[in-house]
Each structure stands twice: as C-alpha cells, then as structure tokens.
C-alpha cells in the first residue's frame, strides 16, 4: 500500500499531518513512538519578532466548533529556533514550518533563517497577515498572494506551501495565483472570521473581539472550497477544516486533497491524527486501493 | 497517542451537598502521578455537544479497600451542559479523561507554621487533596470557606479530621458569617513570615486574596481558571497575564504564585 505524498522535493510517508497551531508539548504528553507515525508535523506560525498574543479570553466554544483569537503568540524566529526546534527535530517526523511576515522583507528574512537549518522539510506561508496599505489580508488578494509566494520561492531552498484563507469570494482565484507564482502546494482552509457576543455584558466574548471559527462546524464549507481549488490548480492540496474522523479526511481526499491536516480535533481527541491514518488505511484495504493517489480528486472522475 | 489519555469507569457519582456532586472514577495511572492542584480534562459527551473537554481539579484520592487504590475523585457543580451530562453519569459508564495535567501546588517553604486555604464555592475541590498532603506535618491548618448559600455548604468533617480549623461564610448568611469569604480574613493571624496561603475560587475572590496578601506581605499560591481547549499547552487558548508575559493556565498553571498573576476582572 503506497501512502507517500510528494510536495516539491519533499516526501512524506503518509498524508496525515497536524494543522498549524493545534499541536504542541509533544515531549511532555505524547508517546513519541506513536507520533512517529504521522506524515508530518506542521508547527504553530512563527513571526520574525516574538508576539505576546491577544488578551484573554482567547477561545470560546460554539456549536460543533470553537472560535479562537490567539494572536499568533510565539517566541519569534530566533526564540523558536533556539527553544523549540531542537526537541522537535528529535521526534524524527518531517517538519513543516509555518511563517508569517508583516512585510515582504520579514517574509524574506524568515525564509533565509529557515533555509540555513537542517531537519526542516517545507515552509508553509500563513498568508492571513495584514496586506500593507490595504484593509484586506494578503490571502484575500490574488496579486499580493502572488507577490509574497514569488519572493519566498525565490529565496527558499525548501518547498513552499501557500496557506489560504476561506474569507474570500472565490478561493480558486487565490489558489491559481499561488500556483502561478510557483507555490509547490496550497493548504486550505484557515479559520473563518467569526464573532460571538455575550448578551449579558453586551460585549464580544473574546478579548480580541472577533476570531476564527474551526472544527466540524466548518467542514462542509471547507470540503466545498477544496473541491473548487482542486479544479483550479494541479499542485498538491493540503486540506483541513473540521476533520475529526477518517471519513471526514476521505471527503477531502476525494475532493482533491493529497494531504490532510488535523486541527481542532487534537483538542478533543489527542489520538485523532493516528486514528484517522488507521482509518484511511482500512478504507484503502476495503476498496482494494494500492496507492492513495488513485482516489485524490476522484469525486469528479 | 497521548500517554495521559485514559478511558475510565465511573465508580460512583453522588450528591455531596445540595449543589455539588462528587464523581469517583477508576484511573490507576492518574492516581499514581497526580499531585494536589493538578486537574483532569474530561470529555463529558460522546458526540459533538458539548464540543470541548471540561477541566476539573482532582479533588481527592479516596482511602479504602479493594479497588480504591485506583480511584480518583472530582467535585463539581452542575452549571451548564457539560457538568449536567456529568451529573447523569452512572456507575459503570465510561469517561474519556486526560490527566493529570498542569502544575501542582508547591509545598509551603521552610519556616511556615500557619497554612491557610481560602476557597470560594467549588474552589474547595483541590483542598481535600492538599490538606491530606499537609496534615500531620505540624502546620496550623485553616480552611476559610465561602459559599453562595446553604446549598453550597458541605459537611466539613473531612477537613476537620485532618486537623483543619474551618470557618464558613455565606453570601446570604444562611450558614456561618454573612458575606464573602474575605470577611473571614481576620481569622488569619498575620505573622507574615510564618504564614502561607492557598486560594482557589472565583476571580473576584482570588483578587481579594491578592490584595490581602500584598498588604500583609504574605506568600502563597492561587489556582486560576480560564476557558480551555486542549489542556495540554498546545493551543495557547487559556493564557493569563503574568509578571513575565502570558502563561498557559493548563500547563504553566493552574497554580501560580500569588504575586505572579494579574487577575482579569470584568
Ligand atoms: C483548572 C480548572 C479546574 C477546575 N476545577 C473545577 C472543579 O474542580 N469543579 C468544578 O465544578 N468546576 C471546575 N472548573 C470549572 C469547570 O471547568 C466549569 O464549571 C465547566 O467547564 C463548566 O462546563 P459546563 O458545560 O457545565 O458549563 P458551561 O456552559 O461551559 O458554563 C456554564 C457557566 O459556567 C461558567 N464557566 C464555564 N467554564 C468556566 C471556567 N473554566 N471557569 C469559571 N467559570 C466557568 C460559564 O461562564 C457559564 O456561566 C475548573 C476549571 C479550570 C480551568
Ligand atoms: C487554537 C488555534 C490556533 C491556530 N493557530 C494557527 C496558526 O498559528 N497558524 C495557522 O496557519 N493556522 C492556525 N490555526 C488554523 C488551523 O491550522 C486550521 O487551519 C483551522 O483550524 C481549520 O482546521 P480545523 O477545523 O481542523 O481546526 C489555528 C487554529 C486554532 C483552532
Ligand atoms: S488549553 Fe490549550 S494551551 Fe491551555
């Protein structure tokens, strides 16, 4: 049974990774032997300078999901490289580093910093960052998406994945822009902009006011967007959005995803990524599939 | 994948006082490792509602024969969907539990003679285990308990048996002194260098303990609450502001030194 996935020149042993910002403290709480079963680990977004994040409350539960406004709390690239990377490398699972620049220059510096390091397999660009001079995010504008992907591609020796925001009118336009700019893959979806109001206090629940919705509540919309994107691009798609079970993951694969990322489900069931991988294997066996690629996008076959 | 994830059988689930329940489940690995102040993260339902796990302090490790060597207890109040589902659990039902999680209380430093536990309502939960760890060590143990009303006051014999002096206040005066638990602070003989405080309860109470501790220069620890998702330090959703920036309640806490945290008040 062949489960390997290729993204640019990077190869992953299977199509299951964890979504940025939803997996951590591996050493303290997990059986490392089991984690080794993952295809890749995608890490929390790193910015050039440390960020302390948003004021609490940062999360609120919603029907079949949650809204978060963490504010990309992270120790900055140098802090991450010194404090976190060494032990992550030891796990022995391919690492996908998520980076976010507040300017083109920051994206360039971040790319160069990670270029210089061993044990990293790909860069994921968190394009849900402010688009300087405009009120939108980079990921909401095909031109800006193209510009950032191009400049990172030029500097990077690693495969580059463009992570797209679902808060757009037509995801296929942005996906195409990323592909045309040279991205090795696109990943989608990030969280949906959302607001929860405390009626008693007449104020937003979250310290940051609005946040991003994740979890099973967004899954059907995410599957739809992956299906749309798959029709627009030929590069691999890493799909996420409310995946809790193997069946959920398979929906995305049938819609056109080569790889799937488990996000919020990690909070409810830390075993979810491994159970999903086992379930995909079982499905392949039952359907007499030899290569996972046989069913990627096959909903349209 | 997580070595802290356990499928546990409910042993008993009973009313402890009109408003509180005590739930006992079998989890030998948790019992073996847990320290006072740590918590467990429980998936109350089986489907998607409620969606997230719910955190509960480990309250007590019951003594006794047979299976009791595996037993772990939480004390809880049914306040919403998650805790209402918990209240419906019966002996033999299974619970998906992560734990033990978080940083425990530290033992009082050298030279301490008087240890005061200050609890607001269900905040008393971790003090059953803490007082058990502190008994017989020569401390003058005191529990100051504040509850909303009669329904929130429970039998204090377990604390008394451990040599604890107990003082109670209720908001409506139905039991003990009338007022918040802070009306009991005068029971603390303020010999700052020899006194250590532990506090667990609603935020305004923690804030009042902070004010008191600062005014009298008394050391101690507080257990904080914040909405949690993962409970494992992964999502950074449960952060509280501390003297050294944001820290997670689930991993760096829930227990912090009194002076370390800044309590957000509405
Ligand atoms: C480290 C930690 C230890 C805890 N230990 C205990 C314990 O030993 N016993 C116990 O009964 N409860 C404890 N709690 C609080 C407990 O987690 C909440 O009562 C529970 O999540 C409520 O879930 P629910 O679905 O029943 O209610 P929800 O619908 O989630 O909430 C109902 C009401 O309770 C309030 N609430 C919800 N979560 C919290 C919270 N984390 N802190 C304060 N208020 C909250 C809400 O604002 C709402 O008004 C602890 C919380 C933390 C963070
Ligand atoms: C608490 C939390 C933190 C997140 N942090 C990041 C982040 O730092 N960078 C990023 O690109 N996406 C982040 N995400 C988005 C997820 O990676 C994922 O795209 C999204 O949650 C949808 O997948 P899910 O429904 O499976 O969680 C975060 C999501 C959550 C819930
Ligand atoms: S609940 Fe996720 S970091 Fe604390």
Mark yes or no for CB contact A66/B98 under 8 Å. no
* Among chain A residues, CA nearest to B231: A267
Coil/strand/helix, residue A162: strand
Coil/strand/helix, residue B65: coil
Mark yes or no for CB contact B241/A270 under 8 Å. no
- Which of B13, B39, B80 has most ligand 1 atoms within 8 Å of its beta carbon, as the pocket-test mutant? B80
Say if residue A131's pLDDT is above 70.
no
The rounded Å distance from CA B236 to ligand 3 centre is 5
Which residue among A129, A137, A186, A205 is the active-site one?
Answer: A129
B243: contact with A, CB 8 A cutoff: no
CA distance A161 to A142: 15
Nearest to B205 by CA among B142, B124, B150: B124
pLDDT interval class at A25 (50, 70, 90) = low
Is B98 near ligand 3, meaning CB less than 6 Å away?
A: no
CA distance B10 to B26: 7
Mark yes or no for CB contact A56/B1 under 8 Å. no
What are the structural domains of chain B?
Answer: 5-101 (2.40.30.10), 114-257 (3.40.50.80)
Compute the count of residue pairs across chains A and B with CB atoms less than 8 Å apart.
111
Q: ipTM, 2 decimals?
A: 0.94
Query: Which neighbouring-strand residues pair with A95?
Result: A41
Tell me what the mean pLDDT of segment A251-257 comes to.
Answer: 98
- Say if residues B148 and B123 touch (Cβ distance below 8 Å): no
**What pLDDT is attached to residue A134?**
66
Q: Is A86 exposed, middle or buried (0-12, 13-18, 19+ CB in 10 A)?
A: exposed
The two structure tokens encoding residue B135: 């008994």
Is A163 near ligand 2, meaning CB less than 6 Å away?
A: yes
Coil/strand/helix, residue A265: helix
A25 counts as catalytic: no
Q: Give A27-56 pLDDT, tens digit per residue.
A: 667 777 788 999 999 999 999 999 999 999
Whole-prediction pTM: 0.95
The rounded Å distance from CA B131 to ligand 1 centre is 23
Shortest distance between the Cα of B146 and any Cα of chain A, in A, equals 25
Q: DSSP letter string over A19-37?
A: -TTS---HHHHB-HHHHTT
Nearest 5 degrees, angle CA A216-CA A217-CA A222? Answer: 80
Residues in chain A with CB shorter than 8 Å from the CB of B39 are: none
What are the structural domains of chain A?
Answer: 5-54+71-195+213-300 (3.20.20.70)
- Say if residues B229 and B238 touch (Cβ distance below 8 Å): yes
Tell me what the mean pLDDT of segment A104-133 comes to.
Answer: 90
Please report, in angstroms and rounded to a whole number, the separation of the first and last CA atoms in chain A. Answer: 22
Identify the residue with better confidence: A227 or A31: A227
- Buried/exposed B198-233: b ≥16 CB within 10 Å, e otherwise: bbbbbeebbbbbbebbeeeebbbbbbbbbbbbbbbb
Q: Is B78 exposed, middle or buried (0-12, 13-18, 19+ CB in 10 A)?
A: middle
Say if residue A215's pLDDT is above 60.
yes
Report how far Cα A17 is from the mean position of its chain's Cα atoms: 9
Q: In terms of DSSP bridges, do strands B219-223 and B195-200 run parallel, antiparallel, or are they unpaired?
A: parallel
Nearest CB to B53: which of A53, A56, A268? A268
Q: Give A62-85 pLDDT, tens digit per residue.
A: 999 999 999 999 999 999 999 999
**What pLDDT is attached to residue B59?**
97
Mark yes or no for CB contact A268/B235 under 8 Å. no
The helix or strand, by DSSP H or E, that contains position B266, with its residue range, turns out to be: none
The helix or strand, by DSSP H or E, that contains position B68, with its residue range, turns out to be: none
> Mean pLDDT for each consecutive 10-residue tract of chain B (266 residues)?
85 94 96 97 93 97 81 96 96 96 96 94 96 92 94 92 93 91 85 89 94 92 96 95 94 95 76
**What pLDDT is attached to residue A136?**
85
Other C-beta atoms lying within 10 Å of the C-beta of residue B31: 19
CA distance A173 to A64: 29
- Say if residues A230 and A77 touch (Cβ distance below 8 Å): no
């Amino acid at each position: 049974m062949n489960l390997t996935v290729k993204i640019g020149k990077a190869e992953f042993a299977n199509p299951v990774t964890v979504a940025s910002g939803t997996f951590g403290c591996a050493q303290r709480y997990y059986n490392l032997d089991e984690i080794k079963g993952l295809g890749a680990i995608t890490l929390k977004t790193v910015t050039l300078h440390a960020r302390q994040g948003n004021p609490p409350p940062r999360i609120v539960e919603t029907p079949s999901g949650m809204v978060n406004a963490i504010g990309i709390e992270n120790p900055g690239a140098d802090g991450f490289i010194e404090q976190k990377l060494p032990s992550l490398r030891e796990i022995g699972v391919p690492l996908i580093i998520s980076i976010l620049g507040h300017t083109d220059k920051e994206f360039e510096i971040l790319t160069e910093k990670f270029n210089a390091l061993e044990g990293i397999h790909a860069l994921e660009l968190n394009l849900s960052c402010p688009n300087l001079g405009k009120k939108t995010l980079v990921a909401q504008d095909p031109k800006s998406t193209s510009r950032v992907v191009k400049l990172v591609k030029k500097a990077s020796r690693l495969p580059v994945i463009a992570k797209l925001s679902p808060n757009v009118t037509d995801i296929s336009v942005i996906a195409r822009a990323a592909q045309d700019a040279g991205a090795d893959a696109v990943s989608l979806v990030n969280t949906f902009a959302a607001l929860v109001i405390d009626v008693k206090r007449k104020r937003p629940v979250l310290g940051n006011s609005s946040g991003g919705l994740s979890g099973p509540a967004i899954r059907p919309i995410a599957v739809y967007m992956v299906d749309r994107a798959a029709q627009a691009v030929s590069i691999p798609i890493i799909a996420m959005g409310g995946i809790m079970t193997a069946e959920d993951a398979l929906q995305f694969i049938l819609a056109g995803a080569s790889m799937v990322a488990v996000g919020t489900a990690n909070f409810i069931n830390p075993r979810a990524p491994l159970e999903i991988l086992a379930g995909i294997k079982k499905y392949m066996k039952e359907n007499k599939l030899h290569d996972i690629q046989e069913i990627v996008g096959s909903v349209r076959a | 994948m997580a070595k802290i994830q356990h499928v546990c059988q409910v042993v008993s689930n009973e009313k402890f006082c009109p408003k509180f329940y005590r739930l006992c489940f079998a989890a030998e690995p948790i019992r073996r490792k847990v320290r006072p102040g740590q918590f467990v993260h429980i998936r109350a339902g089986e489907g998607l509602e409620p969606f997230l796990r719910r955190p509960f302090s480990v309250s007590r490790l019951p003594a006794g024969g047979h299976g009791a060597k595996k037993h772990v207890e939480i004390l809880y109040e049914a306040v919403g969907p998650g805790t209402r589902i918990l209240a419906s659990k019966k002996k033999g039902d299974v619970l998906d539990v992560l734990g033990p999680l978080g940083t425990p209380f530290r033992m009082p430093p050298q030279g301490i003679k008087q240890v005061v536990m200050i609890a607001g309502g269900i905040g008393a939960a971790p003090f059953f285990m803490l007082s058990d760890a502190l008994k017989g060590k020569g401390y003058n143990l005191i529990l100051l308990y504040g509850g909303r009303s009669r329904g929130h006051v429970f039998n204090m014999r377990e604390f008394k048996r451990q040599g604890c002096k107990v003082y109670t206040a209720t908001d409506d005066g139905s039991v003990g002194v009338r007022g918040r638990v802070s009306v009991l602070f005068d029971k603390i003989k303020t010999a700052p260098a020899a006194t250590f405080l532990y506090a667990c309860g609603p935020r305004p109470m923690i804030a009042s303990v902070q004010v008191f501790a600062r005014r009298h220069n008394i050391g101690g620890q507080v257990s904080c609450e914040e909405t949690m998702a993962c409970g494992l330090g992964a999502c950074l959703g449960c952060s509280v502001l501390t003297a050294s920036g944001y820290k997670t309640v689930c991993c760096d806490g829930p227990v912090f030194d009194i002076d370390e945290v800044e309590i957000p008040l509405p």
